[in-house]
Chain A
Amino acid sequence: MVCQHCNQSKATVHITDTHPEKREQHLCDECAEKAGVIIKQSHHTTNEILQQFIKHKSGLAGGDLVCPKCGLTFKEFQLKGQLGCPYDYVAFAALLTPLIQRAHDGGTHHVGKVPPTADATIKKHTGLLRLRRELQEAVEQENFERAARVRDQIRTMEN
């Protein structure tokens, strides 16, 4: 089968879209990569892979969003893979969240170290998140002894 896009190379990637209506696509490696359907990993750094993924997602609305603080547009971020200032995480939150989640294996909340000068509320908030995740893991592993211990720690911290 020949690639539907360039009509030259052999189609190696076959996609069936089910939404909004059923549609089949047959593409060669090169056209599939250009369309952002596949990402060839060889010789690409993590940043390049992320950038390709970001570009693929740029079909979504929001490319014109601008950070009011540093003036970076979301499009510029898509090109460079680098944010302009800490506030971009808020300005582009809606578009960044799925990217971050994917880059961090589903992780959406920080459960690590908190700057020692940060206020007590932040420390508590982050500590609770970490414990809840630990509780979930312990239950999944059927380690009920550990789960009970973590549950007690959560109760102490909440009170």
Chain B
Amino acid sequence: MGIDDLTKSTGEWLRGDGPMSDVVVSSRIRLARNLAEHPFLGTADAVERTEIYRCLSQAITSTAAVEDDILVDLETTDAIDRIVLVERHLISRQHAAGEGSRGVAISPSETRAVMINEEDHLRLQGLRSGLQLEALWTEINEIDDALSKNIAFAFDRQLGYLTACPTNVGTGIRVSVMLHLPALRLTKEIERVARAAKDLRLAVRGTYGEGTEAVGDLYQVSNQTTLGKSEDAIINTFSETIIPNIVGYERTARETLAKHHESQLDDRVWRAYGVLCNARRISSGETQSLLSPIRMGIQMGRFKPFDLATLHELFLYTQPAHLQKLHGQTLDEDQRAVVRADYIRKRLA
């Protein structure tokens, strides 16, 4: 199984099910770990980097819980395939654009991706559709335990797991929940939610993490502090307080729109459908902006022409690298706009 096989389906995080999936698109947990006996990657030379890669890939292939994962050597993987992995949320943009020995081990169901030699030696991450942080933590924690039997991770009695950047020290955990918040944006309440989240020391970011814009009303909420709180405490705050609160605000905003601005709401949903069915050229950004009100329409039972599975298919396959894989050749931005519009029209015909 390789990257070409992955692109045949939309992957686990776009299943569209799981608790609170009307607002919560996906949940993600990642752990940052480093080998105790090696320098961090900023000072490691090429030989050390290769040795770290060898050591960790060997540990993965010899650990029962992850031995069936597909190990992708990113140093020898071509650029489009690397971006396919970014679009599927399996690796970060930085990892795709990086240099030297590095890779990722992906579970067949794409619920897990272990990055080797990203900012830290190992970044163990799990991904699920909807709000499923506890189940995710159980899985990731077990794999971390299993790997710990074969590898000595850098750990300090006072500071916990030691990471390349002190912002991740301690648990090394980053809990991220991707939320679809179109109604909060329409009612202009999103800024208030973002400010409240920042007061709680949470980061609110765009779809592809740090430094990216919120395209298609998708926002990622994640913890920023990793020291002084246990993993369970961080996860509980997310599943019991933070996320249910934001989901509640979004649901209320959707109800308000349906009650007081019904025609404007439906107009937005159906106008988006009209453009998608008829456009002759369309960018990836515009596609995602148009899919956003339709997703809300489907979730509110106001839009029936296609379902969530089709929407997620459109969401993923219209992104630049997936579109080129689907088309079987490299396309520049101008060509992509035409091919994308053709693909959408045919898919919705």
Q: Which residue from chain A places its CB closest to the CB of B226 in the assembled complex?
A: A104
Q: A80-B42, A112-B173, A113-B230 are in contact. List 18 more A-B contacts (CB 8 A).
A: A43-B211, A46-B224, A72-B43, A83-B165, A84-B43, A85-B38, A96-B166, A99-B166, A100-B227, A104-B169, A104-B227, A107-B228, A107-B229, A110-B156, A111-B230, A115-B155, A122-B155, A126-B157
Asked if A151 is an interface residue, CB under 8 A from chain B, the answer is no
Interface-centre pick from B119, B144, B162, B226 (highest chain A CB count, 10 A)? B162
Partner of B39 from the list A45, A85, A106, A113 (CB cut-off 8 Å) is A85
Q: Are A110 and B227 in contact (CB under 8 A)?
A: yes
Residues of chain A within 8 A (CB-CB) of B224 are 46, 103
Closest to A41 in B: B198
Instruction: Enumerate chain A residues within 8 angstroms of B40, measured Cβ to Cβ.
Output: 70, 82-86
Q: In this assembly, does A109 line the interface, its C-beta being within 8 Å of a C-beta of chain B?
A: yes
In the complex, which of the residues A43, A46, A80, A100 contacts B169, with contact meaning CB atoms closer than 8 Å? A100
Q: Which residues of A contact B154 (CB under 8 A)?
A: 86
Minimum C-beta distance from A94 to chain B (A): 14
- A113 close to B171 (CB less than 8 A): yes
| Residue A149 CB within 8 A of the other chain | no
Does B273 sit at the interface, judged by CB under 8 A?
no
Contact indicator B210/A82 (Cβ below 8 Å): no
| Complex interface: stretch among B145-153, B241-249, B304-312, B327-335 | B145-153
Flag if A115 contacts B225 (CB, 8 Å). no
**Cβ of B160 under 8 Å from chain A:** yes
Answer yes or no: B34 CB below 8 A from chain A CBs: yes
Residues A106 and B228 in contact, CB atoms below 8 Å apart:
yes
Find chain A residues with CB under 8 A from B166 CB: 50, 83, 89, 96, 99-100, 103
- Whether A86 contacts B162 by the Cβ 8 Å rule is yes
Cα A85 to Cα B170 with chains together (Å): 15
Q: How large is the interface on B (under 10, 10 to 19, 20 to 34, 35 or more residues)?
A: 35 or more
Binary per-residue interface labels of chain A (65-108) against chain B in the complex, 1 for a CB within 8 Å, 0 otherwise = 00001111000000011111110010000001001100111111
Question: Is A2 interfacial (CB 8 A cutoff)?
Answer: no
Whether B210 contacts A107 by the Cβ 8 Å rule is no
The reply to whether B157 and A107 contact each other, CB–CB distance below 8 Å, is: no
Q: Say whether B141 faces chain A, with CB atoms less than 8 Å apart.
A: yes
CB distance from B146 to the nearest CB of A (A): 9
Pick the most buried of A45, A104, A113, A122: most chain B CB atoms within 10 A of its CB.
A113
The verdict on A130 contacting chain B, using a C-beta distance below 8 Å, is yes
Contact of A117 with B148 in the complex, beta carbons under 8 Å: yes
| Nearest CB in chain A to that of B141: its residue | A113
> Counting CB contacts under 8 A, is B256 at the interface?
no
The reply to whether the CB of A59 lies closer than 8 angstroms to some CB of chain B is: no
Instruction: Tell me if B225 and A107 are in contact (CB < 8 A).
Output: yes
Q: Is B196 an interface residue (CB 8 A)?
A: no
Report 8 cross-chain contacts, Cβ distance below 8 Å, ordered by A residue.
Answer: A46-B167, A50-B167, A70-B43, A85-B40, A99-B166, A111-B228, A114-B155, A115-B152
> Is A116 positioned at the interface, with any CB of B under 8 Å from its CB?
yes
